[in-house]
Structure 1
Amino acid sequence: MDVPVATPEDEHYGPTEQQLLVERGFDGPRVIMVGIDGSPTSMHAASYACGTARRQRCRLVVVFVVPAASFVAAMSGVAAEAREKACQELAADLRTEVRLIADEYRVPTTFVTRRGDPYLELRQAADRVRADLVVVGVSAQAGHRFVGSIATRLVRLGRWPVVVVP
């Protein structure tokens, strides 16, 4: 296939080829945020977000939220301590896994741990880091079909594009 040759009477609009080369890296998102909780769907979401951040050459923010269960206050000291230790171990495991993937794919990544309501914490984190895209995994809990999942609530809020990964 022959490539058309520009003639002097051709009109050119928009940036030059040189300007495109400079600007091309900044057309997409600059910050992608993903919420994880250790579930298979959240880890799929993290993989998707990491791949997108690598292709878009942007920063990845991984947010792990430890849900503050209302029954923790009623737990005995031993049970509450065991739950806290399990959450710390899960956070450490996730942090290690995220660090390995970020190093392997050469994606600038920030790992954030928060405690509280996952929806509120993800919303606040996305605002704080000025996320251009929020990625979450689909909820596997049956009750969320009636009450609404975190993903559904983030989409309804409408502040950022939200990708829900199965």
Structure 2
Amino acid sequence: MVDKVPAPFERGTDGPKVIVTGVDGSESSWRAAAYAAGLARRQKALLAIVYVQPVLATGAAFGAPVAETTAEIAEQLIAEIRRAVKQLEDVFHLRWEFHTFRGDPFNGLAKAADELKADAVVVGASEQAGHRIIGSVAIRLVKVGRWPVTVVP
């Protein structure tokens, strides 16, 4: 009898199994989540919706309730996602999970995509003017080159 050796993890062999999308409450992030949901539904993939809780060291140094505030934002996002999924559950079947990571958006999404073994990442285009100069989260994710990245306007 031959012992079966588990196959090593491979990205993208039979279509995406996990699609990661980042949400922060902005219009572009909701459009990206909707697009990613459509991809996940059609591919029968898991949609991993990620909110990256910012670490605001300055606010915390002055006694601002930073952790509580970002946790409240996460709760508001998950409530809105649940409402949207509830409205569509009779029409579409979608497997999804909500995750929170801490840090800046780029590192948080990169860590999420790595830990969740993402086959694809979908993000919204930046709505901040300064990102044209220093680079947006989307551009930085594309440059890393570890996953296919779709940027939704």
TM over 0.5: yes
Q: TM-score, structure 2 length as denominator?
A: 0.82
Deviations 1:12-56 (A, max 9, x none): xxxxxxxxxxxxxx8321110001111110011011101110111
Q: How does 1:28-47 map to 2 (within 5 A)?
A: 28-47=15-34
- SS at the partner of 1:123? helix
Name the amino acid aligned to 1:162.
V
Structure 2: 5+ residue runs without aligned partners? 1-12
Kept in 2, the 8 Å contact 1:33–1:62? The answer is: yes
Kept in 2, the 8 Å contact 1:34–1:134? The answer is: yes
Tell me how far apart the structure 1 counterparts of residues 46 and 83 of structure 2 sit (CA, whole Å).
15
Tell me how far apart the structure 1 counterparts of residues 74 and 51 of structure 2 sit (CA, whole Å).
7
CA RMSD of aligned residues (A): 1.6
Tell me how far apart the structure 2 counterparts of residues 135 and 44 of structure 1 sit (CA, whole Å).
10
| Number of equivalent positions | 137
Aligned partner of 2:49 in structure 1 is: 62
Moved over 4 A (4+): none
Instruction: Compute the displacement of 1:109 (Å).
Output: 0.9
Structure 1: 5+ residue runs without aligned partners? 1-25
Name the amino acid aligned to 1:69.
L
After TM superposition, the structure 1 stretch with the greater mean CA deviation from structure 2, 110-119 or 146-155, is 110-119
- Comparing both structures, which one devotes a greater share of its residues to helix? 1
Aligned partner of 1:6 in structure 2 is: none
Larger Rg: 1
Q: TM-score, structure 1 length as denominator?
A: 0.76
Kept in 2, the 8 Å contact 1:50–1:102? The answer is: no
Instruction: Compute the displacement of 1:115 (Å).
Output: 1.5
Instruction: Compute the displacement of 1:101 (Å).
Output: 3.5
Whether 1:122 aligns to 2:109 is yes
Aligned partner of 1:88 in structure 2 is: 71
Instruction: Compute the displacement of 1:99 (Å).
Output: 2.7
Q: How does 1:15-164 map to 2 (within 5 A)?
A: 27-75=14-62, 77=63, 80-81=64-65, 83-103=66-86, 104=89, 105-164=92-151
- SS at the partner of 2:34? helix
